[in-house]
Chain A
């Protein structure tokens, strides 16, 4: 069991929660040993789920607040409108990733939940990208119309 755990790498090793310390084995809920082995992709055999350490919670909270201050203060620098937007979106994505990975346990979670989220985000990006492309496609016609209106007005 312990050997299986190590595969997930360093900070996740405390995925094995301390609350199970007193129990004689990992199977505390009347579950079956072979059943647990079938879920060997799980980090949290034994416990229902990973328990987040307080230090990690507070650390992520501090980083999120610092990034919020950063994203507000970076607005006062003129990097050009698209660069400012890019910086703001990159910071927002870092914040969202921290929240999803740590606060929402996705880092320790079943990979299937991650698959759901990633698929969803891909579709969102596809949706917005195609819509923006489609809009840009018609810009020349709008410009022509504006020019024609301008000519008619003069």
Chain B
């Protein structure tokens, strides 16, 4: 008889399982009943369900009911996968189009918190699977314990998500787009308060690039780095598709403040900046720095020699690879170029940010180019900035993780329901379907996070 094949691990649970089985099932008579059952199947007897309080009348046996429920939950899981597939598709398409935005944005995400959350979900998957096992074996205490741990993991996951989300909110890393034409800011406006090279993640991964970006930025914003940083990051630079200068009261001030700088591509500037027109947003409309305001020492340190420029030309080459043949693409598009008729003077002093860009070494320039901080895909190609349309990443990020979080919350409620039923002793070897279905759903939520974690947090 097949039942005699037992694994050591399972047989250890035998006594508990036995007692539960005997408690629920009228055991001894079953062998005798079996002979009658074929007839009973052909002409359904009225009574057999009386033995199983949770066997619905339209199912023949507990197994019949369990298998039907399982098919139902799998059908539901399939639709869930298709539901998330739309978001994975949006992610894939946008990443294939703008890889530098994803590189840029991942510096803002906390890999440690993401990894901890992955561990929390895997642990909860273990306890969910264990809860099913406990229910199957009729181990009520183990079942309750496992369900409680699963609920605890779900709460922990959502708490960590709360920490992550509030950090994003505090730093202006939101999904909202540009200011509206009326000048009113959208409620959830994307407005990073901190440049990416100031993030801990970027500074530890690419210290040279971070310090180079800092110096470049200081050169472009001589009034003071902090103030300049805030101004630069908050000034709405004309988006590429706006087709004209920014309008509206708030952005008009910004437009007035932005000083167009005409960078004549001369030999003294080193590698020509991609694009002829550069609009630098400067707070008070003060003329751009040159060497006067910029600390000369750092400028000298950044512009060492002609020899140092040669590798930088090579370092700029990948920017063409980032955005294929459009190496000469106008960095800001027509909208940005139009408010630039002012005859700004081209300066070739060592403190000029444009010549500083040309003097970067490969180690300094490559991370900046790959993240779209400089180069043709940057908001402003000659001053460290961010990739254009970077807020769309956060649209995708919040939608994917948010939808996943909603599923975690729904699973949390389901587990609480399972817990109440487990406390009432509903589950046993003959009836554990709800525990199994909840666990299946929970595992699917885990599987989706298994993909979300590397896709969002581990971008290289």
Contacts of B85 in A (CB 8 A): 123-124, 127-128
- Asked if residues B454 and A71 are in contact (CB atoms below 8 Å), the reply is yes
- Asked if residues B450 and A96 are in contact (CB atoms below 8 Å), the reply is yes
- Asked if residues B119 and A68 are in contact (CB atoms below 8 Å), the reply is yes
Partner of A150, one of B17, B37, B329: B329
Classify chain B's interface size: 35 or more
The 5 closest A-B pairs by CB, nearest first: A14-B7, A18-B10, A146-B326, A53-B9, A153-B330
11 A-B contact pairs sorted by A residue (CB < 8 Å) = A14-B7, A14-B10, A19-B21, A33-B34, A46-B2, A49-B436, A68-B453, A100-B443, A113-B74, A152-B330, A154-B330
Contacts of A34 in B (CB 8 A): 38
Chain A 6-38 interface 0/1 with B at a Cβ cutoff of 8 Å (1 = within): 000000011011111111111111111111000
> What is the bound-complex CA distance between A135 and B392, given in angstroms?
17
Smallest CB separation, B339 vs chain A (Å): 13
> What is the bound-complex CA distance between A147 and B46, given in angstroms?
80
Partner of A33, one of B21, B38, B325, B453: B38
A interface list, Cβ under 8 A from B? 1-2, 4-5, 13-14, 16-35, 45-49, 51-58, 60-61, 64-65, 68, 71-72, 75, 78-79, 81, 84-85, 88-89, 91-92, 95-96, 99-100, 102-105, 109-110, 112-113, 116-117, 119-121, 123-124, 127-128, 131-132, 135-136, 139, 143, 146-147, 149-154
Smallest CB separation, B384 vs chain A (Å): 21
Please classify the interface of chain B as helix (H, G, I), strand (E, B), loop, or mixed, using the class held by over half of its residues: helix
Smallest CB separation, B328 vs chain A (Å): 4
Partner of B6, one of A16, A55, A64, A88: A16
> What is the bound-complex CA distance between A113 and B71, given in angstroms?
7
Contacts of B444 in A (CB 8 A): 104
> What is the bound-complex CA distance between A28 and B99, given in angstroms?
59
Which of B89-97, B212-220, B341-349, B405-413 forms contacts with chain A? B89-97
- Asked if residues A149 and B3 are in contact (CB atoms below 8 Å), the reply is no
- Asked if residues A48 and B63 are in contact (CB atoms below 8 Å), the reply is yes
Given A16-B2, A17-B10, A26-B3, check contact A128 B329 (CB 8 Å): no
Of B41, B51, B450, most A-chain CB atoms within 10 Å = B450
Question: Which of B307-347 touch A at CB < 8 Å?
Answer: 323-326, 328-330, 333-334, 337
- Asked if residues B92 and A143 are in contact (CB atoms below 8 Å), the reply is no
Given A2-B1, A55-B9, A95-B450, check contact A81 B78 (CB 8 Å): no
Question: Which of B88-137 touch A at CB < 8 Å?
Answer: 88-89, 92-93, 96-97, 99, 103, 111, 115, 118-119, 122-123, 125-126, 128-130, 132-133, 136-137
Contacts of B329 in A (CB 8 A): 146-147, 149-150
> What is the bound-complex CA distance between A151 and B444, given in angstroms?
51
- Asked if residues A51 and B10 are in contact (CB atoms below 8 Å), the reply is yes
- Asked if residues A88 and B454 are in contact (CB atoms below 8 Å), the reply is yes
- Asked if residues B326 and A150 are in contact (CB atoms below 8 Å), the reply is yes
Nearest B residue to A71 via CB reads B454
